[in-house]
Structure formats: C-alpha cells, structure tokens
C-alpha cells in the first residue's frame, strides 16, 4: 500500500506565517517509522501495510496537532495487495515508457 499525504497546521504556527517547523516534525515521524518513504514539495509518500501506514499518518497528525488547534490532512492511497517496492517501481515503469 502506498499512501501520499500532506499534513500541516491550518493556522500559522510562527510569526512569519510559516508552517515549516510543524511539517518538519511530521516528516521526522515518517522517517523514524522505518517504512520506505519520500518527501517532495507537496506530499510525503510512504509504503507498508494498512495498519502500520495509518499509524504513522496518525502520529504525524498528532505532532502537528500539538502545536496547532486545527490540522489539515490530505491523503491519497493506492491499495494493491501483494505488491511491495512500488514507491520506486511505479516511477521506474513511467521512466521506461518515456524512454521508448
């Protein structure tokens, strides 16, 4: 299962209006989970079984909620039992198709 998600405070958590520190705390939770993951400018994607992935998403939301009274969460899942390594394999298939 792949889950791409974005979590952030729904209100600014610093004087300059940045949410970077809260988002960094959420990404830290993901990286410390040990699950395969990658972060880009819009989403963090992680791979694993349903319960372990959702537990990480919940923990990421909780660290953001610790600094904000309101949290925004966007989540997209690719549920495909029996497949692993899709965090990179899906991109590799597209790259091969582009090279043809």
pTM of whole model > 0.85?
A: yes
| Residue 77 phi, psi dihedral angles, 5° rounding | -125, 145
Q: How many CB atoms lie within 10 A of CB 4?
A: 16
pLDDT, tens digit (0-9, with 9 covering 90-100), for 4-46: 999 999 876 667 778 889 999 999 999 999 999 999 999 999 9
Query: Do 8 and 65 meet the contact criterion of CB atoms below 8 Å apart?
Result: no
CATH number of the domain that residue 36 is part of: 3.30.70.930
Closest to 80 measured CA to CA, from 42, 49, 36:
49
- Total tally of structural domains belonging to the chain: 1
Structure confidence at residue 17 (pLDDT) = 72
Structure confidence at residue 13 (pLDDT) = 65
DSSP 75: E
pLDDT, tens digit (0-9, with 9 covering 90-100), for 49-93: 999 999 999 999 999 999 999 999 999 999 999 999 999 999 999
H helix intervals, 1-100: 20-32, 50-65, 86-99
Distance CA 32, CA 25 (A): 11
Tell the burial category of 29 from Cβ atoms under 10 Å away from its Cβ (0-12, 13-18, 19+).
Answer: buried
Per-residue pLDDT at 95 exceeds 70? yes
Structure confidence at residue 93 (pLDDT) = 94
Question: Domain span at residue 74?
Answer: 2-99
């Amino acid at each position: 299962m792949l889950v791409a998600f974005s979590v952030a405070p729904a209100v600014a958590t610093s004087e300059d209006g940045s949410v970077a520190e809260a988002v960094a705390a959420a990404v830290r939770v993901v990286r410390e989970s040990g699950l395969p993951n990658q972060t880009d400018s819009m989403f963090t994607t992680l791979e694993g079984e349903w319960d372990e992935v959702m537990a990480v998403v919940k923990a990421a939301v909780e660290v953001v909620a610790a600094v904000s009274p309101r949290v925004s969460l966007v989540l997209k899942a690719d549920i495909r039992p029996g497949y692993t390594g899709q965090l990179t394999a899906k991109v590799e298939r597209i790259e091969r198709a582009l090279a043809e």
